[in-house]
Structures are given as C-alpha cells and as structure tokens.
Structure 1
Amino acid sequence: MKSDRFSYRAPWWLPGGNPQTVWAALASRRHFGPPPRWKRSRWKTPDGDFIDVDQALHSSAQEAPLLVLFHGLEGSSASQYAVAFADFSAAHGVAYAVPHFRGCSGELNHAPRAYHSGDFQEIDWILRRFAEEHPGRPLIAVGVSLGGNALMRWAGEMGTEATSCVRAIASVCSPLDLAAGGHAIGRGFNRVVYTRMFMRSMVPKALGKLEQHPGLFDRQKLLAARDLYEFDNLFTAPLHGFKDTTDYWARASAKPVLHSIRVPALALNARNDPFVPAESLPTQQDAGHHVTLWQPEQGRDVGFPVSYGPLGLPGHVRAMPEAVGNWLLAHL
C-alpha cells in the first residue's frame, strides 16, 4: 500500500531535482566511517561469459542477512548509492554484495551481449547463485534505477517462485515505465547533461564490442547516435532479442508485471525526478497487494541528500539507504 514512512525533505540549499542529483553524486558524503573494502570474485555465466562480484569485507554474523545491490546504468560498486548501502550494511551487521552487470566492472565482457533494463534472466541466475553459496543467510535485494527495473521485472516474472530465493526486494528511482523514462532523459536539460554523460561511457564500450565481434552493428550509425533512443535502436535492442527501441522499452518495463509480484517489494520514486515523470509512476492499482509505493515529492534521481550541522552542510546520502534498508530488514 502507499506509505508515508519516507517523507523526505531536501535541504533548503538544494531546491529542485537537478541540484539534488548533482550534489549527491559529486559532493555529498557516502559513509560515516571508513570507506568500504571489497573482495572481488569472477563468476562464469551460464553462456560462458563472466561478471565480477564485489563483496564487502566488513564483519557480519554467519546467519546475518545478505543484501545484494543491482546498480544502475553504467554504475558499479563505486557509485555513491552503492557505497552508501555498504555503509548501512556495515552499521547493521548485514553482509553486502554488488554484482556488476556485464562490462561494468572495469573490464569488457567477452560475449556480444551486454546488459539491459529488463534483464531478469541475469537477475535470476545471480540471485540463485547467491542463495546457493549462502544457504544460512536470508537474502534481500535492492536495485537502483536500471537495476531496480530489472529486479522488479524478475519478481513479476517469477511470481510465487521468487519467495524461494529472496525475502524482500526494493527498487530505488527506477524507470518502471521505460518509454516514459527514455523519452524524458532525451529532452531539455537531461539531454544536454545526463544523456551526454551516459553516451560518453556507453559508446566506447559498444565500439569495444565491435572490435571483439566485427559486423555486430553499423559503426558510423552508432557514432551518429545522439540519445538513448537511437543508441538502444542500434545496439541494446537488437543485441538482446528486441525488434527495436520501442519493442525493448515496452517488453522490458516492470510496471506491467508489478501486479504479479508475490514477494514483499518496495518501489521508491521521487516525484521530482526528471528521469521518471511523476505521471508515469505506478498507482496502487498497478502495483497490487505485495508492492509498497513510496513516492515523496522530493529526492530526485537516487540523491535524497540530508543536511546536518549549523548551516546544513555538507549533506549526506544515507537517508535513502537507511529507509530502504530498514524496510527490507523489517520483512525478513
């Protein structure tokens, strides 16, 4: 049901969505104590490729829960939200791991495919492997942005079967309606700043794929792409079994399957997130009985910075991980 338990209010000196995002990404603190330390493992995928998994080295009891975080577009264990969740996990004695989507750990994966917003098959084998390797730990999972849509899509596709793997899941600032989010990021300020930022990372990776697999796509057309719609049309959609971007965004979105989720699930979306238009957010009728909707007016895209001290500076991003992490722990 709709809940007001996360009634976030941004610091007075961060009015509007874009400043909240930029501050959280570039200037806000991610942890109270020392930064997390990681142990990296390489997992072979069922199709002979690999992903890299970072597991936090802080101590936790053998029976403590394991929190798995699925990062967003071009994210990693170094992303501000991943570090903030590591800080939360260490403070609460929870084991913590960040599996990297293919190509996001600093090394290009081998197969032609990469990753995408509806990659629920990849989510499935990753979660099942965690469950097999940690049979004494209850498993909880959170996905941020792209990772959240893929996680919710997985839960909707699995239905009651998901309960045999995880106790609870959450998505944070995820574009559960990919068409609405995709068109939003291609307009105005978003196109000038965020689209360019993503393309600077994604295009070189795609060209690396072309070197690995000559003829995979048209190089000149990819270099001419100026937004995610064009990029997905040339690269993401055809490489992952979709007809085109429109087909990809329609079939990969989690919103149409939210009502099929049978495990406790939380969907947190700020209503001032320009990546995810408020009118596209799910209603309770869309979500069904097992999904809790948190939709605060402020927070922007994964930011949710909080202030402290006499001047309200410099801000911290633990408000969101604390609220989401405690919700997940309450549903063990």
Structure 2
Amino acid sequence: MSKNFQPINWAKNPHLQTLLPRIVRKKPKIKPLWQRLELRDGDFIDLAWSEDPQSAKHKPRLVIFHGLEGSFRSPYAHGMLEATKRRGWLGVIMHFRGCSGEPNRQKRIYHSGEITDARYFLKWHKTIYGQVPIAAVGYSLGGNMLACYLAETGQYADVNAAVIVSAPLMLEPCSIRLEKGISQFYERYLLNGLKRNATRKLIRYPGSLPLNLLQLKKLKRLRDFNNVITAKIYGFKDAADYYHQCSALPRLPNIRVPTLIIHAKDDPFMAPEVVPDINQLPVNIEYQMTEHGGHVGFVSGTLKQPKMWLEQRIPDWLTPHLEP
C-alpha cells in the first residue's frame, strides 16, 4: 500500500471517511489480554495487550494512546493492536483514566495535556517487561498528549519513535471548529460520551467531580465541560487557559525522537492553525498532510475490500525504528 493515501472513490467525503471505520470495523479481530495497573495515587489504568506481555516481552513494543472517550472498542485502536500483532510486535492500548468501562476512583481525569500517567506507564512497562525497541502512536486527543509528552521529555523520552494522528495541536481553534456547522454533530457525540462517563463516576463516587448530576446535565458544549470540570480539577483559569497551556503545536521543536505527524486536510475536527510551519520543525519530525481522510478515518481500497491505510502506513514507517 502506498505511503500516500488514496480514499475509496465513492467515499472521499470527510464525514464518510470519519464514520466509515465504525461501519467496516464493527467487531475487533483480536481478543486482548487485559491488565490493571494500580497507580501510586490509589487510582488505576487498564491495559489491553495484543498478547501475554510476559511471554512476548522480547518483541518490539507499540504503545497506543486513544482519543477523547476512546478505548479498545474504538476501530482505530483495536485495528492497530491487531496490525501490531500481525507484524510480530507486542502492542498495548493504555486506557486513560475512566475510559475502559469502569469509573476511576480519584478526582483526577485525563485531558489533552495530562502526561503523568503516560510517563509513569512508559517507565513501568520497561521496568517490568524489559528494554526493547519501543514506539508510541497517539490518535486525536491522545496524539496531542503524546506530543506534549515527547516535548516535555525531549531526548529522555521512553520511546524510540512516535506517530501522531489527527491531533488537535491547537486546542482553541479546534474547539471553535467543533462548535460550528456540521462539526457540531461530533461535539455533541463527544460531549454525550463525557457526560455518560461522568454520570457513572458521580453515582459510584459521589463528590469525585466539581459539580453535581443536575449541573452536569446542563452542560451544552465541550468548552462548558472544560470550564467546569477540567479547569477546576487542574487549576486552569478556565477552558481557554487550558487550551492555551496544553496545545502541543508550540512545543513541537522540543521533540527529539523521530516522529511522524499525520493530518487530513479535510478533517472536520481540525482548524488550519494545527498545521505546523515546516521550516520550524526539527529534522526528526516528518509531517504528512493528505487531501482526504477525515478524522482518524483514512479508509482506502474498494467497497468489497476496504483497507485501513493507517494500519499499513504507521507500521511501515515505524519498522526501521522497531526493527533496526
């Protein structure tokens, strides 16, 4: 498959590209091995491995960070986990707090710039399962988070290479984009997911969020959620301050490991501001913008045999770093 993305002829539309993976990938092809990692603050994150990590600890490793309200059940996540196993590598999806189907215990939540759990996990699994070539891929929110982690850790990042896909590298402009036109459909979908999870958490752990169920029900925008919940928990002034402090784009020059960033020009979640100035990027960062692909879509092939381009492009790009 070409490194350049060619969409299915009848599905060049960005919304079709965004939604198609949920249609052609209804069920995972892989049954993961689940593991719960207890954290030092009394909370936990759940891990979905492509196979038993103890027996496969000698294999190159790919860590997958999902998007907002994503999980193993997200087509891009279980698809990449299965693609990783096909390559003979060991894959793992690190679920952000509360995203594996069970509310997390503590008041902390995940967000676009929250790198503490990723940093801890990346060090932990090297200690437990040994030193091998390791790469990471982050999708959407997970991509922005991964970029923040890579920039923060620089040459000391616990990965050999990384891929960032459909990441909202400038959070404020992307938030504004989601509040307009047909993109509001996606905002409602994401907000409803956040509110469902927050409802489950408040019922199980009353007082674990800085609002009650009635106040939660009244939230109408992602910006509202970030104003009332994310900003208050993490000490940001408001959503705008959170967006400003956690946008990864200004930090990209601090990344030191080989990194591929992929955006689609027609991504309905993105704004033009996410596109980096190529002249300002270090030589270790490769930027690819495709004409089509939607948001974490990139479905190619034919109607009878659709193909997930990312599941070929990402492993192909990572191979020199995982199999040196």
Q: Give 1:11's aligned residue.
A: 8
Contact preservation (8 Å) 1:61, 1:93:
no
Contact preservation (8 Å) 1:112, 1:213:
no
Q: Give 1:324's aligned residue.
A: 314
User: Does 2:256 correspond to 1:259?
Assistant: no
- Provide the rounded CA distance (Å) in 2 between the counterparts of 1:6 and 1:185: 29
Q: Percent identity?
A: 32
Contact preservation (8 Å) 1:29, 1:314:
no
Task: Specify which of 117, 121, 129 is matched with residue 126 of structure 1.
Answer: 121
- Provide the rounded CA distance (Å) in 2 between the counterparts of 1:220 and 1:234: 13
User: Does 2:138 correspond to 1:148?
Assistant: no
Task: Specify which of 80, 83, 95 is matched with residue 85 of structure 1.
Answer: 80
1:137 positional shift? 2.1
Q: Give 2:174's aligned residue.
A: 181
Q: Could you give the per-residue CA deviations for residues 133-180 of structure 1, whole angstroms, max 9, x where no partner exists?
A: 222421111011111110110000111111xx2110111111111112
Q: State how 1:141-290 maps to structure 2 within 5 Å.
A: 141-162=136-157, 165-191=158-184, 193-211=185-203, 212-214=205-207, 216-217=210-211, 219-290=213-284
Equivalenced residues, count: 318
User: Does 2:19 correspond to 1:22?
Assistant: yes
User: What TM-score results when the alignment is normalised by the length of structure 1?
Assistant: 0.90
1:273 positional shift? 0.3
- Provide the rounded CA distance (Å) in 1 between the counterparts of 2:198 and 2:64: 24
Question: Given the superposition, is the C-alpha separation of residues 325 and 29 from structure 1 closer, same or farther in structure 2, using an over 3 Å criterion?
Answer: farther
Unmatched segments (≥5 aa) in structure 2: none
SS of residue paired to 1:295 = strand
Q: State how 1:33-48 maps to structure 2 within 5 Å.
A: 35-48=29-42
Unmatched segments (≥5 aa) in structure 1: none
- Provide the rounded CA distance (Å) in 2 between the counterparts of 1:285 and 1:250: 22
Residue 42 of structure 2 aligns with an amino acid whose one-letter code is G
Contact preservation (8 Å) 2:210, 2:232:
no
- Provide the rounded CA distance (Å) in 2 between the counterparts of 1:61 and 1:77: 20
More displaced 10-residue stretch of structure 1: 213-222 or 283-292: 213-222
1:40 positional shift? 0.9
- Provide the rounded CA distance (Å) in 2 between the counterparts of 1:100 and 1:29: 20
Task: Specify which of 49, 57, 64 is matched with residue 55 of structure 1.
Answer: 49
Aligned alpha-carbon RMSD (Å) = 2.0
